[in-house]
Structure 1
Amino acid sequence: MTKPLVALLTGAGVSTDSGIPDYRGPDGLWRRDPEAEKLVTYEYYMGDPEIRRRSWQMRRRMGNLAAEPNAAHRAVVGLERSGVPVRVITQNVDGLHQRAGLPARKVVELHGSARGVVCTRCHARGPMEDALARLDAGEDDPPCLVCGGILKPATVMFGERLDPAVLGEAVSITQACQVFIAVGSSLQVHPAAGLAEVAADHGARLIIVNAEPTPYDEIADEVIREPIGTALPAVLGQLDGAHEGGRPGVA
C-alpha cells in the first residue's frame, strides 16, 4: 500500500538547538526585548531609518547564516530518504531544512527566507551575505544596488501579507496529508496556526510537539512536551514504515 503523506509545520522551536532563538517561548526574543519586534515590523522598518539600521545590525550580530541543521532537521531528511512522502511547511526563515538535505521543492517557506534580500521598490533580489558584507564595509542601511530603493530581508515581516500562492500550496498539502505534525510552533500566528485545524478537519492524525501548550492541543491526537531534538526523531522513526493505506501520498 502507498505510504501516507506526512506534513510537518515547523516553528522556531525546531531551530533553537541550532543556536537560533525562538520568539515567544519563555526565553524568546520578544519576551526578552519587546522593542525588538519593531525591527521586523514592516511599517516601522519602512518609515524609520534608525529602525532599519538597528535591524541590519541585529542580523549582522546574530550570525544566523552560519547556523547548522540539528537532529530535528536531520530526522525529517531521514524520513524523506526512507521513501515516506514528506512535505515541510515552515514558519522559519533560516533555510535549515534545505541545508540538512531536504529538496527545496518539498519545503514551503511561509514567511520567506532570511538568506536573501529584496528591494521594496523594484523587487530585485540578492543573497543576504552580500548585504551583510556591505555592512562590514561600512554601510549601515544598504540600499538596492539596482534602483536605490529600500532593501529588506526576503522575509514576511509583521504587517505584511503572506504570498497567496505560497499559502495556497501549504493549505493543499495540509488537506491532502494523512499525518500532520506541528512541531516547535506556538500555533499562535495566523494563518499558519490554523493549518493544524485544517489538517484535523480533513481527517489527518494531528501530532503536536511543543514545549508549551498551544490553542490546538485539545483537538490533537497526541501532544508531546519532550525536547524536540529527541522527540521528533522518535516520532518520525515510528512513522517510518508503520502506516499503510489511507489516501495516496505525494512522492
Structure 2
Amino acid sequence: MIAKDLSSGVERLGEMIAEASVIVPFTGAGISTECGIPDFRSPGGLWTRNRPINFDEFVISQEARDESWRRRFAMEPTFAAAKPGRGHRALASLYRSGKTPAIITQNIDNLHQASGFKPEDVVELHGNTTYARCIGCGKSFDLQWVRARFEEHGRAPDCSACDEPVKTATISFGQAMPEEEMRRATELSQTCDLFLAIGSSLVVWPAAGFPLMAKRNGAKLVIINREPTEQDDIADLVLRYDIGETLGPFVGN
C-alpha cells in the first residue's frame, strides 16, 4: 500500500511499529543525504563524477590504489563533518526500546554507530570507510596513518605487517561480500516480524534480497524511499517522502 499522504503514512507506520515484536531496519544511502553525504547513483552522485575502481584493479595497479586514496582523502571533510540525522536517531530510539536487535546497512559512513548503536549491532554489508584494512592479513589502520605515508611517499602505502595493499575497510565492486555480515543479515531477515527498508534503491544484490527474504518469512515490509523501487508492489506500506520528515516523529520514542 502506498501512503496517500505523509501524515496518514506516519500514523500507519507508528501502528505497525507498536504491533511488532522484532523490528529490523535496513538502510541505504538515502538516510544519510540529509547529513551531507551524497549518494552514489543519483544524478550528481559520486559515481556520475568518478568511475568506481574495481577491486581487481585496486589489487594489481598502484595507480588505481593511489587514485582510490586520493578520492577518499578528498571526501574526508564531508565524512568528518557528518552527524546522525533524524532517520538515524529514530532508528537508534527503536534500538534503545529493545525492539530492534541490530541494523543492516549498505552504508559505509559509521553514522549508525554515532547515533547510539553498538558497533557489534551494526551489520555493515559494504564495510566502513572510516578506517583502513590490509587486504592480505586483515590488519586495521587509522586513516591518519595511511594519509601520513601517502603524503610522505606520494603513493598509497602497503601493510606494515605483510606488505599487501591497504584499502578503506569497504567492499568494492568485484570484492567478495563479508561472510559473517551476510550470515547475520540473513538471520535477522528471517526472524523479524517487521522489516524497514529505508533509503535504498533496492537494486544492489545480494543486499536487495533481504527485504524479499523477510517478506517471504512472514514479516511485514515497509519501504521508505523518495523514489519508487522494484519491491514496492510486495510492501505492506510504501512511504515516498523525505526520510527525515517521515522518521522524525519517532526520535526519542
Summarize deviations over 1:136-174 as a string: whole Å, max 9, x none: 445431221222221111111110111222101101001
Q: Does 1:101 align with 2:116?
A: yes
Q: What is the root-mean-square deviation in Å for CA atoms of aligned residues?
A: 2.1
Q: Is the 8 A contact 1:11 1:186 kept in 2?
A: yes
State the one-letter code of the partner of 2:138: H
TM-score, scaled relative to structure 2: 0.85
Deviations 1:56-87 (A, max 9, x none): 11110111244221111111112222333342
Contact 1:143/1:150 (<8 A) preserved:
yes
Q: Which residue of 2 aligns with 1:249?
A: none
143-152 or 206-215, which moves further after superposition? 143-152
The residue matched to 1:215 in structure 2 has which SS? Answer: coil
Structure 1 gap segments, 5+ residues each: 241-251
Task: Tell me if the contact between 1:143 and 1:151 (Cα under 8 Å) persists in the aligned partners.
Answer: yes
Aligned pair count reads 234
CA displacement, residues 165-217 of structure 1 (integer Å, 9 cap, x when unaligned): 21011010011111101111110111110111111111111011112111111
Tell me if structure 1 keeps the 8 A contact 2:20–2:194: no
2:96 equivalent in structure 1: 81
**Where does residue 12 of structure 1 map in the other structure?**
29
Residue aligned with 2:190, SS: helix
CA contact (8 A) 2:127 2:169 kept: yes
* Aligned counterpart in structure 2 of residue 47 of structure 1, from 60, 65, 73: 60
State yes or no: 1:28 paired with 2:41.
Answer: no
**Match for residue 220 of structure 1?**
235
Whole-Å Cα distance in 1 between the matches of residues 201 and 146 of structure 2? 31
Deviation at 1:25, TM superposition (A): 2.1
Instruction: Look up the match of 1:113.
Output: 128
Contact 1:114 1:128 in 2 (8 A): no
Query: SS where residue 36 of structure 1 aligns?
Result: coil
Evaluate the alpha carbon distance shift between residue 129 and residue 227 of structure 1 in structure 2; reply closer, same or farther with a 3 A threshold. Answer: farther
* Alignment map for 1:103-142 (pairs within 5 Å): 103-137=118-152, 139-142=154-157
Does the 8 A contact of 1:72 with 1:233 survive in 2?
yes
Q: Quote the residue 2:202 is aligned against.
A: 187
Instruction: Kindly report structure 1 stretches of 4+ aligned residues shifted beyond 4 Å.
Output: none
Could you tell me which runs of 5 or more consecutive residues in structure 2 were left unpaired when the two chains were aligned: 1-17
1:128 to partner: Cα distance: 2.5
2:69 aligned to which of 56, 60, 68: 56
Alpha-carbon distance in 2 for matches of 1:162, 1:122: 17
CA shift in 2, pair 1:166/1:83, >3 Å: closer
Alignment partner of 1:152 is 2:167: yes
Checking the alignment, whether the CA contact within 8 Å between 1:115 and 1:129 is kept in structure 2 is: no
Percent identity between the two aligned chains: 39
Change (3 A) 1:146 1:65: farther
Q: Secondary structure at the match of 2:117?
A: coil
